């Protein structure tokens, strides 16, 4: 019986996630991490003797597919099923799982994400301070992304795991820019290509959110996400826990459109959270009565603005400006 913390509702569909050889390996490793020599003995006992490079290739494939991890002492151990599911959703597809099972699996993964991050999100809300040792999602503006990217050594394009799993919008999945290549499965791209992908994502209305840290050598780690409000796990968490200004972290607030605004209303459609609205009929009537222009600017609910900035970048008149209301602990990384 395979455990590996696999949810019970997936039992009828387990062959969608593991090959027969992987299932045998999982059964062997349930007792704990094991060195390759011990694995050979167990496999031989099962009449599945794999020697030399064949075993190495098999274990490499299992590692790449998120089935196992390698420990520093040379032992092999099972991963958590969340790791396997992440890889499976990104690169293998749903393989005819029933919609009900897909929905259950997505909810299971979302619940895990929320439970894993709720403490940090609520602490940030109540204490209003953050530790530089923890990685938090936080909105960054386009000019900040450009500055950040000048300080990154390598870029790897990955599919967005939230969008690959949830599938609630029609945006491209290929928008996640990571700064390291876990399990060697991303595509290395140039700095210029990475910035092009981000700019194109912003044009399509996706929000830029960084999840970065600094390692012991002073190297920037993490990723730059291009998020929608439909599929994004951080946004689902913020809505459920009421931490909208903290997860992702709000650093800017959109300001009332200035005199350049022509009332085109494009910002209303671009706002992912519906906090920009058209002026009311009463506003329009007061404008007419006062002899002013009939076309008033949209109304921005600044109290509920998340600070993602897509209204500003999408304004053809450059009439919406972002006011910074909070500094990041990584502020220096976002400046030239």
* Domain co-membership, 104 together with 228: yes
Rounded Cα gap, residues 66 and 97, in angstroms: 19
Residue 329 forms part of a structural domain: no
Give 244-287 pLDDT, tens digit per residue.
999 999 999 999 999 999 999 999 999 999 999 999 866 555 55
Give 203-243 pLDDT, tens digit per residue.
999 999 999 999 888 899 999 999 999 999 999 999 999 99
Give 60-79 pLDDT, tens digit per residue.
999 999 999 999 999 999 99
Residue 331 forms part of a structural domain: no
* Domain co-membership, 114 together with 233: yes
Range of the domain at 301: 252-322
* Domain co-membership, 23 together with 62: yes
* Domain co-membership, 287 together with 164: no
Residue 161 forms part of a structural domain: yes
R_g of the chain computed on alpha carbons = 24
Residue 235 forms part of a structural domain: yes
Give residue for tokens 């039992």. Answer: 11
Banded model confidence at residue 1, pLDDT cuts 50, 70, 90: very low
Q: What average pLDDT does this structure show over 93-113? A: 93
Query: What percent of the chain clears pLDDT 90, i.e. is strictly above it?
Result: 79
Q: Please tell me which residue, 97 or 43, carries the higher pLDDT value.
A: 97
Give 13-33 pLDDT, tens digit per residue.
999 999 988 999 999 999 899
| 137: CB partners within 8 A, 6+ apart | 209, 210, 211, 225, 234, 247, 248, 249
Q: 59, 51, 53: which is closest to 21 by C-alpha? A: 59
Banded model confidence at residue 48, pLDDT cuts 50, 70, 90: low
Check whether 123 has a pLDDT greater than 80: yes
Q: What average pLDDT does this structure show over 168-178? A: 96
* Domain co-membership, 104 together with 237: yes
Assess contact for 289 and 296: CB atoms under 8 A.
no
Rounded Cα gap, residues 29 and 313, in angstroms: 51
Query: What percent of the chain clears pLDDT 70, i.e. is strictly above it?
Result: 93
* Domain co-membership, 139 together with 108: yes
- Give the helix ranges, DSSP H, for 128-257: 142-149, 161-166, 191-203, 233-241
Residue 109 forms part of a structural domain: yes
pLDDT at residue 3 in the model: 60
Give residue for tokens 């909810």. Answer: 107
* Domain co-membership, 114 together with 58: no
Residue 3 forms part of a structural domain: no
* Domain co-membership, 237 together with 274: no
* Domain co-membership, 236 together with 161: yes
Give the chain's length: 336
* Domain co-membership, 228 together with 128: yes
Rounded Cα gap, residues 57 and 53, in angstroms: 6
Check whether 288 has a pLDDT greater than 60: no
- Residue that terminates a domain, selected from 69, 91, 113: 91
Write the CATH number for 81. 1.10.10
* C-alpha 203: how far from chain center: 18
Local structure of 255: helix, strand or coil: coil
Quick one: tokens of 15? 């062959």
Q: What are phi and psi of 194, to 5 degrees?
A: -60, -45
pLDDT at residue 4 in the model: 81
What rounded mean pLDDT belongs to the chain?
A: 91
Write the CATH number for 266. 3.30.70.20
* Domain co-membership, 79 together with 56: yes
Assess contact for 208 and 198: CB atoms under 8 A.
yes
How many domains in the chain? 3
Check whether 94 has a pLDDT greater than 90: no
* Domain co-membership, 231 together with 258: no
| pTM tops 0.75 | yes
Q: What average pLDDT does this structure show over 131-155? A: 93
Give residue for tokens 């929905």. Answer: 103
């Amino acid at each position: 019986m395979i455990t590996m913390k696999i949810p019970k509702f997936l039992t009828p569909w387990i062959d969608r996630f593991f090959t027969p050889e992987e299932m045998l390996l999982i059964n062997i490793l349930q007792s704990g991490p094991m060195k390759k020599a011990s694995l050979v003995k167990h496999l031989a006992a099962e009449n599945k003797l794999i020697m030399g490079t064949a075993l190495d290739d098999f274990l490499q494939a299992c590692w790449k597919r998120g089935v196992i991890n390698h420990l520093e002492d040379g032992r092999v151990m099972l991963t958590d099923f969340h790791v396997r599911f992440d890889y499976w959703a990104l690169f293998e597809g749903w393989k005819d799982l029933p919609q009900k099972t897909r929905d259950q699996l997505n909810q299971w993964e979302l619940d895990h994400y929320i439970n894993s991050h709720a403490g940090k999100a609520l602490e940030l809300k109540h204490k209003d301070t953050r530790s530089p040792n923890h990685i938090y999602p936080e909105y960054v503006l386009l000019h900040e992304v450009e500055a950040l990217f000048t300080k990154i050594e390598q870029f790897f394009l990955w599919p967005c795991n939230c969008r690959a799993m949830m599938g609630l919008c029609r945006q491209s999945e290929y928008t996640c820019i990571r700064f390291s290549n876990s399990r060697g499965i991303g595509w290395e791209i140039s700095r210029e290509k990475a910035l092009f992908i981000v700019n194109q994502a912003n044009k399509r209305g996706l929000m830029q959110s960084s999840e970065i840290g600094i390692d012991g050598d002073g190297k920037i780690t993490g990723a730059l996400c291009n998020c929608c409000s439909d599929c994004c796990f951080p946004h689902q968490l913020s809505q459920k826990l009421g931490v909208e200004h903290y997860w992702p972290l709000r650093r800017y607030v959109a300001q009332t459109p200035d005199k350049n605004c022509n009332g085109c209303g494009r910002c209303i459609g671009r706002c992912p959270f519906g906090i920009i609205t058209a002026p009311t009929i009463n506003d329009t009537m007061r404008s007419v009565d006062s002899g002013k222009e009939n076309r008033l600017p949209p109304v921005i609910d600044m109290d509920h603005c998340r600070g993602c900035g897509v209204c500003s970048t999408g304004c053809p008149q450059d009439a919406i400006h972002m006011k910074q209301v909070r500094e990041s602990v990584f502020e220096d990384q976002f400046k030239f």
